[in-house]
Amino acid sequence: MGRSSKDKRDIYYRLAKEEGWRARSAFKLLQLDEEFSLFKGVRRAVDLCAAPGSWSQVLSRKLRGKREESEDVKIVAVDLQAMAPLPGVTQIQGDITKITTAQEIIRHFEGQPADLVVCDGAPDVTGLHDVDEYIQAQLLLAALNITTHVLKPGGTFVAKIFRGKDVTLLYSQLKVFFSGVTCAKPRSSRNSSIEAFVVCENYSPPEGYVPNMSNPLLDHCYDVDFNQLEGPNRIIVPFLACGDLSAFDSDRTYPLQVTMVTTHIQGSTPVGPKTFKIKDPVNESVHVL
């Protein structure tokens, strides 16, 4: 086992660089897919708050594979920031709280709703957990709001959530629109982080519900007693750890891989294997300074 580390450049950071992912967060979506089979039968997908594009990369590789001509698969990435192009991904630089953004998504799908909507968006954290949890909850509800405009009945919605004392309120709000809601923690998500992901399956809005961007989903005048219940009367949000237990631990530091090279000169006795250690760019930069 490796030793504990606070270094941002952990094993998943290095694996992301090695495999060509734009960010280590790609492994979070991959591990969620391993547990919930998110991509099964998906032909139209939306990535909200997409920049820098690691989740869009996962969608592109998993849904399109190596077939560059797969026209039946459509992926739309939405963010306020522009990001580098990705094969098979249509980018919309827009605000997820605007109805025009939802209309633009549907237009790219030629009038058809999406099968899957994912959102890995998060605010710039302040370090004040109560404030961060509240802002993240508002971002999640904004993503849910636009999802009600673009997701087909029976579709799936995945979004980041900060687990706090009011997670029950968010869970109850999501249960209004989805029959199955699970709070999941991928193996690649650091244990020290309060982040998790809600996997909402089987979109089934209430009968007669009309999506409306002008009405916030979170009503501040909700029943306070609902969140103060204790014992068997309190709603327990299902929580699931995703990822194989034999996978890398994001809170550990692992030694760099060692490459074994065997050399042989013609007409001479074979030389045993030589070991070459890969240079550590972090330590090297320290020595240079």
Q: Active-site residues: which are they?
A: 160
**CA pair distance 26, 243, nearest whole angstrom:** 13
Listing DSSP states for 83-108 in one string gives ----TTEEEEE--TTSHHHHHHHHHH
β-bridge mates for residue 96, sequence order: none
Ligand-binding annotation for 79, yes or no, is yes
Ligand-binding annotation for 121, yes or no, is no
Ligand-binding annotation for 53, yes or no, is yes
Closest to 159 measured CA to CA, from 8, 43, 50 = 50
Which alpha helices (DSSP H) does 113-194 contain, by range?
A: 129-150, 167-175
Ligand-binding annotation for 132, yes or no, is no
Residue 109 to residues 3, 29, 104, 135, Cα–Cα distance (Å) = 48, 23, 9, 30
What b/e readout covers 230-262, taking b as 16+ CB neighbours within 10 angstroms? eeeeeeebeeeebbeeebbbbbeeeeeeeeeee
Ligand-binding annotation for 130, yes or no, is no
Asked if residue 78 lies in contact with residue 94, where contact means CB atoms within 8 angstroms, the answer is: yes
Asked if residue 12 lies in contact with residue 188, where contact means CB atoms within 8 angstroms, the answer is: yes
Annotated binding site for S-adenosyl-L-methionine: 53, 55, 79, 95, 120
Annotated binding site: 53, 55, 79, 95, 120
